[in-house]
């Protein structure tokens, strides 16, 4: 772990392993065996460096085999969660004075350790959230990218910033941290988003109370342990899993909470925003909320598109990681002139998708996250059968895991429930558009605005999409998932959140405030 600021190379994305190298396959198989041997461990709270066991624990279950507990994670009480906020506030008084170089070096060291242990992180995500081998490695690579990118960005913000010269004055602009904050990450990008949100707050001089999703709390525990292993001081990052109804509102509403960084559903995000907006007795600030919420993402296929490329892009975007991405394609909007051909080719492409336990490399699609999600998605499928024409899928697979077939429903009306509501599962609605004008109109008819894509050979149509397709991340002639840190800053409009642009050059500003200083000469 010898990375130093003095010999810093420009940022570049971590390569994603595709497991064509036999050595990588062997390493992954060994990691899967090693992680499985550690199933059933308990993971305590961590507050101010103290590991605290609790009577109530949250089991993290393998969605491919819910009888298997990956681990048991301590559940914080309201009192313990409040104490974590108070500790984070106290430790902020010291942590804010550490240099940007020192904080950045912690992230560089963390990224280096994550590289060394990537197969174990990958294996844990295969088991804990049902990722395929490649999806898991992409998740780990993105976590590494966030740490590397944000460390460099923190150094940039700590540097000198140009201001307009004023005669007789020496002026400067500094960026300073906010305070103690709450980080509430999702389960779907169990390592990347959790580590990215935490490291962004940390490297800018803030302290953190991390409340992970109950479905992916073990990997969050691993990451917090890694941060302490490399020497991040006690109390700077505190680990407090727990039931949202028990501690979620409490830590958001606490008067010492300065900011809340949230990624998850629209419903919970709006509640976080509402609760954070209410000023508590003794509170000195307006809390800042960074929210990345849901999506109902469309891929528009114009009449002149490369149909085969569009079919592949739609299939990968819709069914990668079981459609459990806020960026996933859940609507294919297809020009009427090629609609029938597109649907037939899509049906054949989806038939090639293998579904099963992703600890087996051969399975491209795994289980949905839990039984509750399985039931919710299944209800949407039944609704979809009434709202359109079932092309393929629609069924549960087996009885022991949370497996669903990739499901395509065609002839869906633009205002149908399955065309408007976020399903967060392997269900795709195919909508027929009269022409390109109609397709763009449909693409903009939801309350969300996260990702979208257009397939067309006509540059004029692509230029129109740049102006008219109202999403935070627009992709042209490529799939609508797979944003890379640095190259594809990520965040959406409308009910998709605050357009936080994670992995972009302005993201760290969300965890900083500007201080102008003027000295008379």
- What CA–CA distance (Å, rounded) separates 317 from 327? 8
Return the pLDDT at 143: 98
- What CA–CA distance (Å, rounded) separates 448 from 16? 30
Give me 401's structure tokens. Answer: 């895991």
CATH fold label, 297-484:
Aldehyde Dehydrogenase; Chain A, domain 2 (3.40.309)
Q: Which residue has the tokens 């499985």?
A: 36
Where along the chain do its domains lie? 25-293, 297-484
- What CA–CA distance (Å, rounded) separates 191 from 114? 10
Give me 218's structure tokens. Answer: 């073990």
Write out the chain's pLDDT in tens, 521 residues: 345 566 689 999 999 999 999 999 999 999 999 999 999 999 999 999 999 999 999 999 999 999 999 999 999 999 999 999 999 999 999 999 999 999 999 999 999 999 999 999 999 999 999 999 999 999 999 999 999 999 999 999 999 999 999 999 999 999 999 999 999 999 999 999 999 999 999 999 999 999 999 999 999 999 999 999 999 999 999 999 998 888 999 999 999 999 999 999 999 999 999 999 999 999 999 999 999 999 999 999 999 999 999 999 999 999 999 999 999 999 999 999 999 999 999 999 999 999 999 999 999 999 999 999 999 999 999 999 999 999 999 999 998 999 999 999 999 999 999 999 999 999 999 999 999 999 999 999 999 999 999 999 999 999 999 999 999 999 999 999 999 999 999 999 999 999 989 999 999 999 999 999 999 99
Return the pLDDT at 2: 42
Any idea of the CA torsion for 374, 76, 498, 490, to the nearest 10 degrees? -70
* Contact by Cβ (8 Å): 469, 452: yes
- What CA–CA distance (Å, rounded) separates 435 from 425? 28
Lateral strand order in the sheet of 180-184:
50-52, 45-47, 237-239, 207-210, 180-184, 259-263, 288-292
DSSP H or E segment with residue 314: helix 307-319
Whole-prediction pTM: 0.97
412-270-506 Cα angle (round to 5): 95
- What CA–CA distance (Å, rounded) separates 373 from 68? 18
Fold match between domain 25-293 and domain 297-484? no
Return the pLDDT at 6: 60
Return the pLDDT at 245: 84
Return the pLDDT at 87: 98
- What CA–CA distance (Å, rounded) separates 223 from 44? 13
pLDDT single digits (tens) 348-401? 999 999 999 999 999 999 999 999 999 999 999 999 999 999 999 999 999 899
User: Any bridge partners for residue 448, and if so which?
Assistant: 494
Return the pLDDT at 244: 87
* Contact by Cβ (8 Å): 132, 126: yes
Determine how many CB atoms are found less than 10 A away from the CB of residue 287: 25
| C-alpha distance from residue 242 to each of 106, 209, 215, 256 (Å) | 27, 12, 11, 19
Return the pLDDT at 5: 60
131-137-139 Cα angle (round to 5): 75
86-208-190 Cα angle (round to 5): 140
Long-range contacts formed by 341-345: CB under 8 A, 24+ apart: 341/307, 342/301, 342/307, 342/310, 342/311, 342/430, 343/391, 343/408, 343/410, 343/430, 345/307, 345/308, 345/311
- What CA–CA distance (Å, rounded) separates 345 from 341? 6
* Contact by Cβ (8 Å): 313, 354: no
- What CA–CA distance (Å, rounded) separates 220 from 320? 23
Return the pLDDT at 22: 98
Find out if CATH 3.40.50.150 is the number for domain 25-293: no
Return the pLDDT at 45: 98
Return the pLDDT at 511: 98
399-405-408 Cα angle (round to 5): 150
Catalytic residues: 292, 326
Beta strand residue intervals within 201-247, DSSP E: 207-210, 237-239
- What CA–CA distance (Å, rounded) separates 226 from 208? 15
Determine how many CB atoms are found less than 10 A away from the CB of residue 345: 18
Return the pLDDT at 11: 97
Kindly tell me the burial class for residue 23, based on how many C-beta atoms sit within 10 Å of its own C-beta (0-12, 13-18, 19 or more).
exposed
Return the pLDDT at 1: 39
* Contact by Cβ (8 Å): 328, 320: yes
User: Any bridge partners for residue 390, and if so which?
Assistant: 409
* Contact by Cβ (8 Å): 359, 204: no
Return the pLDDT at 199: 98
Give me 485's structure tokens. Answer: 């840190």
């Amino acid at each position: 772990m010898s990375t130093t600021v003095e010999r810093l190379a420009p940022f570049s994305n971590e390569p994603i392993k595709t497991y064509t190298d036999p050595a990588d396959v062997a390493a992954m198989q060994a990691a899967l065996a090693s992680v499985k041997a550690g199933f059933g461990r308990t993971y305590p709270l961590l507050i101010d460096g103290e590991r605290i066991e609790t009577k109530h624990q949250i089991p993290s279950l393998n969605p491919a085999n819910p009888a298997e507990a990956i681990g048991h994670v301590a559940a914080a009480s309201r009192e313990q969660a409040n104490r974590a906020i108070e500790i984070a506030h106290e430790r902020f008084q010291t942590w804010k004075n550490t240099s940007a170089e020192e904080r950045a070096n912690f992230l560089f060291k963390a990224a280096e350790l994550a590289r060394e242990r990537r197969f174990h992180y990958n294996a844990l995500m295969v088991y804990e959230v049902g990722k395929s081998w490649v999806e898991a490695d992409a998740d780990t690579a993105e976590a590494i990218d966030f740490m590397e990118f944000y460390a460099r960005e923190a150094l940039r913000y700590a540097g000198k910033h140009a201001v307009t010269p004023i005669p007789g004055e020496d002026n400067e602009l500094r960026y300073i941290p906010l305070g103690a904050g709450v980080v509430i990450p999702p389960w779907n990008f169990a390592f990347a988003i959790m580590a990215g949100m935490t490291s962004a707050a940390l490297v800018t001089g803030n302290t953190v109370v991390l409340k992970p999703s109950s479905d992916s709390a073990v990997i969050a525990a691993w990451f917090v342990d890694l941060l302490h292993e490399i020497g991040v001081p006690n109390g700077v990052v505190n680990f407090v899993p727990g039931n949202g109804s028990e501690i979620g509102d409490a830590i958001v509403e606490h008067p010492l909470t300065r900011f809340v960084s949230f990624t998850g559903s629209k419903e919970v995000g709006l509640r976080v925003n509402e609760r954070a907006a209410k000023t508590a007795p003794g509170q000195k600030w307006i809390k800042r909320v960074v929210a990345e919420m849901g999506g109902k993402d469309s891929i528009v296929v114009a009449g002149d598109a490369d149909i085969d490329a569009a079919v592949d892009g739609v299939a990968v975007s819709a069914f990668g990681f079981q459609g459990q991405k806020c960026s996933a394609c859940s609507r294919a909007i297809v020009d009427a002139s090629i609609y029938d051909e597109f649907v037939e080719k899509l049906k054949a492409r989806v038939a090639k998708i293998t579904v099963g336990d992703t600890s087996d490399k051969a399975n491209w699609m795994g289980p949905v996250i839990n039984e509750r999600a399985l039931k919710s998605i299944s209800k949407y499928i039944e609704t979809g059968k009434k709202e359109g024409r079932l092309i393929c899928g629609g069924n549960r697979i087996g009885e022991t895991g949370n497996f669903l077939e990739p499901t395509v429903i065609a002839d869906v009306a633009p205002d149908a429930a399955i065309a408007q509501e976020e399903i967060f599962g392997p269900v795709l609605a195919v909508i027929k558009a009269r022409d390109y004008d109609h397709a763009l109109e449909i693409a903009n008819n939801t309350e969300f605005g996260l990702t979208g894509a257009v397939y067309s050979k006509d540059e004029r149509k692509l230029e129109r999409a740049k102006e008219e397709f109202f999403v935070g991340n627009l992709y042209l002639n490529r799939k609508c998932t797979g944003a890379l840190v640095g190259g594809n800053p990520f965040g959406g409009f409308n009910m998709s959140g605050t357009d936080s642009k994670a992995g972009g050059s302005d993201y760290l500003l969300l965890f900083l405030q500007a201080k102008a200083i003027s000295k008379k000469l």
